[in-house]
Amino acid sequence: MTFDERRTELIDAAIRVIARDGLAAATTRAIVGEAGMPQGALFYIFSSREALISAVIEEITGAERLGALLSIELSAPDIGVDEVLTTAMDSYLRLLERDPRREIALLEVATHAMRHDPDAGRRQWATYRSAVADALTFIATTMQLRWSMPVEELAHMVTSSLDGLTLSWLTDRDSAAARRHIAVLATTFAAMAIPLADPASTETADNTEEHHRR
């Protein structure tokens, strides 16, 4: 196995152990046992158990979690912002349905941080919100629109909404209810999108205003 392959397997093994047995049970011995590697392999890849747990957080909250949003075809004719957001959040829900252990591990790590390292918990969610803000900026740029509030504030609302959606689904596994929730969220957030003015229209309006002044 290459260095990157070993790193990926150790992160996946840590996620499986944390989701199944809790963070306290995710000792280095348990993780390497889950990965089928000698214990020395972990410290060859990561400087410490804490560094591995940080990599787990980055894996769950990073590009993979929001990849569905960034991969949507935004240039299709007549596509609306509500449709983009619905498709994105539904793609996220499908990721959750396929592998709920990742979100369970994320919640486990977050709960531990709230008790023992609040700064780490804040950094964890800051990473998540930053990724959402990047995605919202990507949508705005590609679809030629702007948001009616600062993108960082909107990203905070979106992440809070997705957190609620995630926790509800993990509790009841009711995907139909989750998709109804998504429809409401998409409509709500789409209402905050303001199309950028067409330069030609703006020029025409300016000329008309100048004519009236004369």
The answer to whether residues 34 and 110 belong to one domain is: no
The answer to whether residues 51 and 89 belong to one domain is: no
The answer to whether residues 137 and 41 belong to one domain is: no
Contacts of residue 74, Cβ cutoff 8 Å, sequence gap at least 6: 84, 139, 142, 143
The answer to whether residues 105 and 192 belong to one domain is: yes
Does residue 202 belong to any structural domain of this protein? Answer: no
Contact 171, 154 (CB under 8 A): no
Q: Give the predicted TM-score (pTM) of the model.
A: 0.74
Does residue 170 belong to any structural domain of this protein? Answer: yes
CATH number of the domain encompassing residue 40: 1.10.10.60
How far apart, in whole angstroms, are the C-alpha atoms of residue 75 and residue 127?
28
Q: Which domain holds residue 188?
A: 62-197
The answer to whether residues 154 and 100 belong to one domain is: yes
Does residue 209 belong to any structural domain of this protein? Answer: no
* Per-residue pLDDT at 62: 62
Helix (H) or strand (E) holding 196: none
As for how many domains the chain has, the answer is: 2
**Segment 46-73 mean pLDDT:** 71
The answer to whether residues 97 and 19 belong to one domain is: no
Cα distances from 125 to residues 26, 110, 121, in angstroms, run 21, 9, 6
The answer to whether residues 80 and 181 belong to one domain is: yes
The more confident residue out of 92 and 65 is 92
How far apart, in whole angstroms, are the C-alpha atoms of residue 153 and residue 192?
12
The answer to whether residues 116 and 179 belong to one domain is: yes
**DSSP label of 198:** P
Q: Which residue has the tokens 């960034």?
A: 70
Does residue 204 belong to any structural domain of this protein? Answer: no
The answer to whether residues 44 and 66 belong to one domain is: no
Burial class (CB in 10 A: 0-12, 13-18, 19+), 136: buried
The answer to whether residues 101 and 178 belong to one domain is: yes
Does residue 212 belong to any structural domain of this protein? Answer: no
**DSSP label of 194:** E
Does residue 164 belong to any structural domain of this protein? Answer: yes
The answer to whether residues 77 and 52 belong to one domain is: no
Does residue 18 belong to any structural domain of this protein? Answer: yes
How far apart, in whole angstroms, are the C-alpha atoms of residue 125 and residue 144?
28
pLDDT at residue 66 greater than cutoff 60: no
Does residue 203 belong to any structural domain of this protein? Answer: no
Per-residue pLDDT tens over the stretch 107-160: 888 888 788 778 877 887 887 788 788 888 888 988 899 999 999 999 999 989
The answer to whether residues 90 and 128 belong to one domain is: yes
pLDDT at residue 32 greater than cutoff 50: yes
